[in-house]
Structure 1
Amino acid sequence: MSGWGYALKLSKEEVKNAEPPGTVKLIDHELQRTPTGTNYNEDHIELVPHPSRSPADPLNWPKWRKLAVLFTVSLYALIANIASANIASALPLLTFQLLPPNSLTRLGHLVAYNVLFAGCSNIVWVPLANIFGRRPIMLLAQLILIFSSMGGGLATTFNGLLIARIFQGIGAGPEQTISPEIVGEVFFVHQRGRAMALYTVCLSAGSLVGGIIGGYIAGNLGYKYIFWITTALSVFIFLCQFFLVPETLFDRKSHLAHEERNNTYNDEKEGTERDERAINTKYQSTFGIAQQLSVGMYRGHIIRRFIAPWKTLALPGTWVVMLHYGGLVGAIVTLATIAPALLSAPPYLWGNNVGLINVAGLIGCIVGGIATHFTADLLVTRGAKKEVHGFSEPEARLPAMFPALVIAVAGIWCFGFSAANGSKPAWVGMAFGLGMVSFGLTQIPSIGFNYLIEAYYSVSSDCFVMTTIVRGVISFAWTFFVVEWVFTRGPREPFGIFGMLMAIFALLTIPLWIYGKRWRIATAKYLPKAGEGEH
C-alpha cells in the first residue's frame, strides 16, 4: 500500500521494517560459529542492483570499461562547464574587444542565457535519451557543442555571439542529467558515492578552470580563441564518447525474467541442461565491438516520456535536491561573473589576472571531492551493517551533506560582505567565500544525485530534468540582474539575500533526513514498478 494517509499512520517500527522503492538489502548478516561455540555475524555486501548474466549489462562490464565510462562522462562535465564559464572572466575585456562596445551588464547575458538553456534543454534531451538510448543523445549533444563553439569563434557581433552561447548551453545540457544517470547505471549502490564524487569534482571544477583561463586567453590571444580552444576540447570528448562509452540503457528486468525462465528447465533431464547452457553461452557472447559502437535503439511511449519529468514534482526528494543544486550553481555562477568585474576595477586593478580568484574555488572543489570520496559510501555501508535487516536507505547519505550546506551558505555571505568592504585586502575574504561555496558545490550535488538515483531509481533521469531546469532558471535570474544590482546597491544586499535563500533551501534537508523513508512509502504509487534488482 501507499499514500499519505497510510504512510502517516504507520508506527516507527512499521516504517523501519517497510521496503518502499529505494530501500534495498545491501548487507547479508550471515550467522557463523567459532570453534569454541560462540556465534557471530559475518557481513557480506550484496550486489545491488542484481546484475543479469548478459555481457551487455553495464554492471557486468570489466573494471577498465567502467572507469573509462566514468572518465569520459566526467571529462564531458569538465569541458562543458569550462565552455560555459571561460567567458565570464573575459567580460571586462569584451567591453572593448567586441565592437561596437557593450556594457558589462549586457555582456553578462552571455553567461545568463547559456546557463538557462543548459538547464532547460534537458526537458528534451532526457526524454529522447529514455526513448533512443543514452549514447546517440550524448553524441548529438557533443556535436552541437562542437559546432556552436566554432560559431562563437566566427561571430563578429554581440547577437551572433549570444546565439552561439545559447547553443553551447544546449550542447552542454546532458552533462548535468544523462551523465550522472550513466554513472548510476554502471556502478553498484556501494560504489556510486565514490564514482559520483569524481563526476561532481569535474562538474564543479569546470566552471572554476574556465574562469581562471578565460581572462588570460582573451587578454593574450583575443576572446575568439576562447571558442577555438573549446572546439578542440569538444572534439576530443566526442571521440572519447564514441569509442569508450557503449549504450548503458539496459533492460535488466527482461533479461532477468528470461534467465529465470531458463532456470526452470534445470529440473528436467541433463540434456535439457546442456541445451540451456548452450543457449546462455550464445546469449552471453553477443556483446562484440560492433554492438559496443552501435548507435540507436527505440523504446517508444514518446508522449509519456515527455510528460514524465513533471510528475516527479510529486516526490519530496526532487524538490530538496533541485533547490540545493539550483541555489549552489546560481551562487557559483554569480560569484564567477561578478568577481572579475569587481577585481578589474579600483582598488584591485588585477587586469588579465582577474580569473585567479577562481584558484580558491578550485582548492575548495578538490577538498570537497576528497571529503565526498571518503564519506559517501562509508555512511551507507555502515548504516546497513547496523540495521537488523541489512537494509540500505538513501537517507543514510544525507548527514554528510550538513557541514557542506553550512559552509556553502557562510561562503556566500563571506564573499558578499568582503566585497562590500571595498579595501584592497578584501579579495582574501572574497577568495575564501568562493572556496567555501565550491566545497559545497562539489559535495552536496554528489550526495543529492545519489539520493535521487537510489530513492527513485525508475524515474531518476526525470528527477534530474527538473533539477537542471530549476538550476538553469535560478542561475539565469541571479546572473541576469546581479551585475547592475551590485553596482547600484553594493554587494552586501544581493549576496545577503542569496545566502538567506540558500539557508532556507538547506534547512529542507532536515525533514527529508528524518521523514524521508515515510515519504517514500507515501509516494510509492507515483513510481513505475521497478524490475527485480533495479535500485
Structure 2
Amino acid sequence: MSGWGYALKLSKEEVKNAEPPGTVKLIDHELHRTPTGTNYNEDHIQLVPHPSRSPADPLNWPKWRKLAVLFTVSLYALIANIASANVASALPLLTFQLLPPNSLTRLGHLVAYNVLFAGCSNIVWVPLANIFGRRPIMLLAQLILIFSSMGGGLATTFNGLLIARIFQGIGAGPEQTISPEIVGEVFFVHQRGRAMALYTVCLSAGSLVGGIIGGYIAGNLGYRYIFWITTALSVFIFLCQFFLVPETLFDRKSHLAHEERNNTYNDEKEGTERAEQAINTKYQSTFGIAQQLSVGMYRGHIIRRFIAPWKTLALPGTWVVMLHYGGLVGAIVTLATIAPALLSAPPYLWGNNVGLINVAGLIGCIVGGIATHFTADLLVTRGAKKEVHGFSEPEARLPAMFPALVIAVAGIWCFGFSAANGSKPAWVGMAFGLGMVSFGLTQIPSIGFNYLIEAYYSVSSDCFVMTSIVRGVISFAWTFFVVEWVFTRGPREPFGIFGMLMAIFALLTIPLWIYGKRWRIATAKYLPKAGEGEH
C-alpha cells in the first residue's frame, strides 16, 4: 500500500521494516559458530541492482570498461563547464575586444543565457534519451557543442556570439542529467558514492578551470581562441564517447524474467528448455565491437516520456535536491561572473590575472571531492550493517551533506561581505568564500544525485530534468541581474540575500533525513514498478 494517509499512520517500527522503492537489502548477515561454541556474524555485501547474465548489461562490464565510461562522462562534464565559464573571466576584456563596445551588464548575458539553455534543454534531451538510448543523444549533443564552439570563434557581432553561446548551452545540457544517470546505470549501490564523487568534482571544477584560463586566453590570444580551444576539447570528448561508451540503457527486468523462465524446468520439457537456454546463452555470449559501437534503439511512448519529468514534482526528494543544486550552481556562476568585474577595477586592478581567484575554488572543489569519496559509500554500508535486516536506505547518505551545506552558505556570505569591504586585502576573503562554495558544490550534488538514483531509480533521469531546469533558471536569474545590482547597491545586499535563500534550501534537508523513508512509502504509487533489483 501507499499514500499519505497510510504512511502517516505507520509506527516508527513499521516504517523501519517497510521496503518501499529505494530500500534494498545490501548486507547479508550470516551467523557462524566457532568450534568452541561462540557465535559471530559475517557480513556480505549483496550486489544491488542484481545483474542479469547478459554481457550487454552495464553491471557486468569489466572494471576497465566501467572506469572508461566514468572517465568519459566526467570529462564531458569538465569540458562542458569549461566552455560555459571561460567567457566569464574574459568579460572585462570583451568590453573593448568585441566591436562595437558593449557594457559589462550586457556581456553578462553571454553567461546568463548559456546556463539557462544548458538547464532547460534537458526538457528535450532526457525524454529523447529514454526513448532512443543514452548513446545517440550524448553524441548528438556533443556534435552541437562542437559546431556551436566553432560558431563562437567565427562570430563577429554580439548577437552572433550570443546565439553561439545559447547553442553551447544546449550541447552541454546532457552533462547535468544523462551523465549522472549513466554513472548510476554502470555501478552498484555500494560503489556509486565514489564514482559520483569523481563526476561531481569534474562538474564543479570545469567552471573554475574555465574561469582561470578564460582571462589569460582572451588577454594573450584574443577572445576567439576561447572558442577554438573549446572546439578542440569538444572533438576529443566526442571521440571518447564514440569509442569508449556503449549504450547503458538496458532492459534488465526483461532479461531477468527471461532467465528465471529458463531456470524453470519440468520433466516433460527439460531437454527442450535446456536447448533453448543454450541457444540464448550462445547468442548473448559476446559483446562485440559492432554491438558496443551501435547507435540505435527505440522504446516508444513519446508523449508519456515528455510528461514524465513533471510528474516527479510529486516526490519530496526531487524538490530538496533541485533547490540545493540550483542554489549552489546559481551562487558559483554568480561569483564567477562578478569576481572578475570586481578584481579588474580599483583597488585590485588584476588585469589578465582576474581568473586566478578561481584557484581558491579549485582547491575547495578538490577537498570536497576527497571528502565525498571517503564518506558517501561508507555511510551507506555502515548503516546497513547496523540494521538487523541489512537494509540500505538512501537517507543514510544525507548526514554527509550537512557540513557542506553550512560551509557553502557561509562561503556566499564570506564572499559578499569581503567584497563589500572594498579594501585591497579583501580579495583574500573573497577567495575563501569562493573555495567554501566550491567545496559544497562538489559534495552536495554528489550526495543528492545518489539519493535520487537510489530513492527513485525508475524515474531518476526524469528527476534530473527538474534539477537541471531549476539550476538553469536560478543561475539565469541571478547572473542576469547581479552585475548591475552589485554596482548600484554594493555586494553586501545581493550576496546576503543569496546566502539567506541557500540557507532556507539547506534546512529542507533535515525533514528529508528524518521522514524521507515515510515519504517514500507515501509516494510509492507515483513510481512505475521497477524490475527486480533495480534500485
TM-score if structure 2 supplies the norm length?
A: 0.99
Tell me, in whole angstroms, the C-alpha distance in 2 between the residues paired with 1:517 and 1:284.
38
Tell me, in whole angstroms, the C-alpha distance in 1 between the residues paired with 2:417 and 2:268.
77
The answer to whether the 8 A contact 2:133-2:298 is kept is yes
Query: Tell me, which stretches of 5 or more residues in structure 1 are unaligned?
Result: none
Tell me, in whole angstroms, the C-alpha distance in 2 between the residues paired with 1:143 and 1:319.
32
**Cα offsets for 1:202-241 (capped at 9, x unmatched):** 0000000000000000000000000000000000000000
- Aligned residue for 1:498? 498
SS in 1 for 2:40: strand
Tell me, in whole angstroms, the C-alpha distance in 2 between the residues paired with 1:221 and 1:192.
41
Residue 272 of structure 1: CA displacement? 4.7
The answer to whether the 8 A contact 1:72-1:241 is kept is yes
**Cα offsets for 1:172-225 (capped at 9, x unmatched):** 000000000000000000000000000000000000000000000000000000
Tell me, in whole angstroms, the C-alpha distance in 2 between the residues paired with 1:490 and 1:274.
76
SS in 1 for 2:49: coil
The answer to whether the 8 A contact 2:84-2:114 is kept is yes
Distance 1:268 1:378, change over 3 A: farther
Residue 277 of structure 1: CA displacement? 5.0
The answer to whether the 8 A contact 1:401-1:443 is kept is yes
Residue 281 of structure 1: CA displacement? 2.7
**Cα offsets for 1:276-298 (capped at 9, x unmatched):** 55224313224211010000100
The answer to whether the 8 A contact 2:262-2:277 is kept is no
**Cα offsets for 1:91-144 (capped at 9, x unmatched):** 000000000000000000000000000000000000000000000000000000
The answer to whether the 8 A contact 1:30-1:42 is kept is yes
Residue 340 of structure 1: CA displacement? 0.1
The answer to whether the 8 A contact 2:24-2:48 is kept is yes
> What is the count of residue pairs matched by the alignment?
535
Tell me, in whole angstroms, the C-alpha distance in 1 between the residues paired with 2:502 and 2:103.
29
Tell me, in whole angstroms, the C-alpha distance in 1 between the residues paired with 2:343 and 2:521.
51
Residue 269 of structure 1: CA displacement? 7.5
The answer to whether the 8 A contact 1:369-1:442 is kept is yes
Residue 429 of structure 1: CA displacement? 0.1
Counterparts in 2 of 1:454-533, with a 5 A limit?
454-533=454-533
Instruction: Give the aligned CA root-mean-square deviation in angstroms.
Output: 0.9
Tell me, in whole angstroms, the C-alpha distance in 1 between the residues paired with 2:113 and 2:34.
66
Residue 266 of structure 1: CA displacement? 6.8
The answer to whether the 8 A contact 2:455-2:520 is kept is yes
SS in 2 for 1:303: helix
SS in 1 for 2:281: helix
The answer to whether the 8 A contact 2:185-2:248 is kept is yes
The answer to whether the 8 A contact 1:266-1:272 is kept is no
SS in 2 for 1:349: coil
The answer to whether the 8 A contact 2:126-2:178 is kept is yes
Distance 1:267 1:153, change over 3 A: farther
Distance 1:360 1:268, change over 3 A: farther
SS in 2 for 1:48: coil
SS in 2 for 1:28: strand
Residue 274 of structure 1: CA displacement? 4.8
**Cα offsets for 1:408-428 (capped at 9, x unmatched):** 000000000000000000000
Tell me, in whole angstroms, the C-alpha distance in 2 between the residues paired with 1:239 and 1:267.
53
Tell me, in whole angstroms, the C-alpha distance in 1 between the residues paired with 2:426 and 2:512.
38
Distance 1:455 1:429, change over 3 A: same
**Cα offsets for 1:421-457 (capped at 9, x unmatched):** 0000000000000000000000000000000000000
The answer to whether the 8 A contact 2:139-2:241 is kept is yes
Distance 1:61 1:347, change over 3 A: same
Residue 271 of structure 1: CA displacement? 4.0
The answer to whether the 8 A contact 1:15-1:518 is kept is yes
Counterparts in 2 of 1:173-188, with a 5 A limit?
173-188=173-188
SS in 2 for 1:264: coil
The answer to whether the 8 A contact 2:50-2:534 is kept is yes
Query: Which range moves more in the overlay, 484-493 or 30-39?
Result: 30-39
Distance 1:195 1:267, change over 3 A: farther
Residue 251 of structure 1: CA displacement? 0.2
SS in 2 for 1:40: strand
Tell me, in whole angstroms, the C-alpha distance in 2 between the residues paired with 1:164 and 1:272.
61
Tell me, in whole angstroms, the C-alpha distance in 2 between the residues paired with 1:273 and 1:233.
52
Distance 1:371 1:266, change over 3 A: farther
Tell me, in whole angstroms, the C-alpha distance in 2 between the residues paired with 1:520 and 1:511.
13
SS in 2 for 1:32: strand
- Aligned residue for 1:103? 103
Residue 265 of structure 1: CA displacement? 2.3
The answer to whether the 8 A contact 1:149-1:227 is kept is yes
The answer to whether the 8 A contact 1:49-1:189 is kept is yes
Query: Which range moves more in the overlay, 329-338 or 257-266?
Result: 257-266
**Cα offsets for 1:60-98 (capped at 9, x unmatched):** 000000000000000000000000000000000000000
**Is the aligned partner of 1:250 residue 2:236?**
no
SS in 1 for 2:265: helix
Tell me, in whole angstroms, the C-alpha distance in 2 between the residues paired with 1:511 and 1:351.
46
Residue 275 of structure 1: CA displacement? 1.9
- Aligned residue for 1:323? 323
Tell me, in whole angstroms, the C-alpha distance in 2 between the residues paired with 1:265 and 1:146.
54
Query: Which range moves more in the overlay, 315-324 or 258-267?
Result: 258-267
The answer to whether the 8 A contact 1:54-1:283 is kept is no
SS in 2 for 1:267: coil
Distance 1:307 1:109, change over 3 A: same
**Cα offsets for 1:483-521 (capped at 9, x unmatched):** 000000000000000000000000000000000000000
**Cα offsets for 1:325-376 (capped at 9, x unmatched):** 0000000000000000000000000000000000000000000000000000
Residue 533 of structure 1: CA displacement? 1.0
Counterparts in 2 of 1:294-443, with a 5 A limit?
294-443=294-443
Tell me, in whole angstroms, the C-alpha distance in 1 between the residues paired with 2:108 and 2:273.
68
**Cα offsets for 1:456-498 (capped at 9, x unmatched):** 0000000000000000000000000000000000000000000
SS in 1 for 2:530: coil
The answer to whether the 8 A contact 2:262-2:273 is kept is no
Tell me, in whole angstroms, the C-alpha distance in 1 between the residues paired with 2:34 and 2:120.
59
SS in 2 for 1:265: coil
Tell me, in whole angstroms, the C-alpha distance in 2 between the residues paired with 1:269 and 1:341.
77
Query: Tell me, which stretches of 5 or more residues in structure 2 are unaligned?
Result: none
Residue 270 of structure 1: CA displacement? 6.7
The answer to whether the 8 A contact 1:265-1:276 is kept is no
Tell me, in whole angstroms, the C-alpha distance in 1 between the residues paired with 2:273 and 2:141.
47
The answer to whether the 8 A contact 1:265-1:272 is kept is no
SS in 1 for 2:425: helix
Tell me, in whole angstroms, the C-alpha distance in 2 between the residues paired with 1:258 and 1:308.
27
Query: Which range moves more in the overlay, 227-236 or 285-294?
Result: 285-294
